[in-house]
Amino acid sequence: MIKEIIVVEGKDDTTAIRRAVEADTIETGGSAINETIYRRIERASATRGVIIFTDPDHAGERLRKLISARVPGCKHAFITQEEGRKKEDIGVENASPETIRLALERVKTEYREAPGEITKGDLMEAGLLVHPRAAERRLLVGNALGIGYANGKQFYNRCRMFQINREEFSQAVAAMEAALGGEDA
């Protein structure tokens, strides 16, 4: 049984989570989260801890940011869009039990006040900012780090928030460069 309560978007996500692990969930009912759900998440965070596990799409990321801003110290589980894709639908409910277990093993804890080792200069040097293919490169590095895709500013914030260290970052950048096969320097 997972100690923390997993915050998901809907019933199908709960079903997928429970196929993979024994856990309690809070369903937000989609991206239109209300005050009652926020209070439930705040209580869960204070008593057992919370893992936010939303869909790897715009609405899921928006919901993740809203909850994280309201409830400090959340943990985060991520899957890639490919891991959550079933035909044209993208969501946690489409992920395999194995993928869900792996995402929960790689959970990242949010630290608001922690000084991050990674700088914006590091992101620029790795071609994750101000590069013709920066978005593609951030996607590959974000997936390797287990923090998902984000725009440049949010990527930097996630590196700091999850205290990604230089070694982890360097390994993820090397994996990205190997995946690209040196096709863009």
- Indicate whether 128 pLDDT > 70: yes
Q: How many CB atoms lie within 10 A of CB 135?
A: 14
Looking at the structure, do residues 13 and 30 belong to the same domain, yes or no?
Answer: yes
Mean pLDDT along residues 81-104? 96
With cut-offs at 50, 70 and 90, classify the pLDDT of residue 83.
Answer: very high
Looking at the structure, do residues 10 and 92 belong to the same domain, yes or no?
Answer: yes
Mean pLDDT along residues 54-60? 94
Looking at the structure, do residues 88 and 147 belong to the same domain, yes or no?
Answer: no
With cut-offs at 50, 70 and 90, classify the pLDDT of residue 75.
Answer: very high
Q: Determine the structural domain holding residue 171 and report its residue range.
A: 114-185
Q: What percent of the chain has pLDDT over 70?
A: 95
Looking at the structure, do residues 51 and 26 belong to the same domain, yes or no?
Answer: yes
Looking at the structure, do residues 50 and 84 belong to the same domain, yes or no?
Answer: yes
Looking at the structure, do residues 133 and 61 belong to the same domain, yes or no?
Answer: no
The 3-class SS string of 99-122 reads HHHHHHHCCEECCCCCCCCCCHHH
Structure token digits, residue 146: 């287990």
Specify the pLDDT at position 116.
Answer: 52
Tell me how far apart the alpha carbons of residues 69 and 8 are, in angstroms, rounded to a whole number: 16
Looking at the structure, do residues 27 and 64 belong to the same domain, yes or no?
Answer: yes
Looking at the structure, do residues 127 and 175 belong to the same domain, yes or no?
Answer: yes
Looking at the structure, do residues 136 and 70 belong to the same domain, yes or no?
Answer: no
Which residues, in sequence order, are CB contacts of 82 under 8 Å at separation 6+?
Answer: none
Looking at the structure, do residues 131 and 89 belong to the same domain, yes or no?
Answer: no
| Greatest C-alpha distance within the chain | 50
> Position of tokens 């260290």?
165
Q: Facing residues of 89 across strands? A: 86
Specify the pLDDT at position 8.
Answer: 97
Looking at the structure, do residues 74 and 140 belong to the same domain, yes or no?
Answer: no
Alpha helical stretches, state H, the chain: 11-20, 35-47, 58-70, 97-105, 120-125, 134-145, 152-161, 166-180
With cut-offs at 50, 70 and 90, classify the pLDDT of residue 32.
Answer: confident
What angle is formed at CA 169 by the lines to CA 4 and CA 53, rounded to 5 degrees?
A: 25
* Model confidence, pTM: 0.74
What is the SS3 assignment for 76? strand
**pLDDT tens-place string over residues 135-185:** 999 999 999 999 999 999 999 989 988 889 889 999 999 999 999 986 655
Q: What CATH number corresponds to the domain at position 60? A: 3.40.1360.10
Domain count, the chain: 2
User: 92, 110, 128: which is the final residue of a domain?
Assistant: 110
Mean pLDDT along residues 92-97? 98
**pLDDT tens-place string over residues 110-125:** 765 555 578 888 999 9
Tell me how far apart the alpha carbons of residues 126 and 98 are, in angstroms, rounded to a whole number: 31
Q: Rounded to the nearest 10 degrees, what angle do helices 134-145 and 166-180 cross at? A: 130
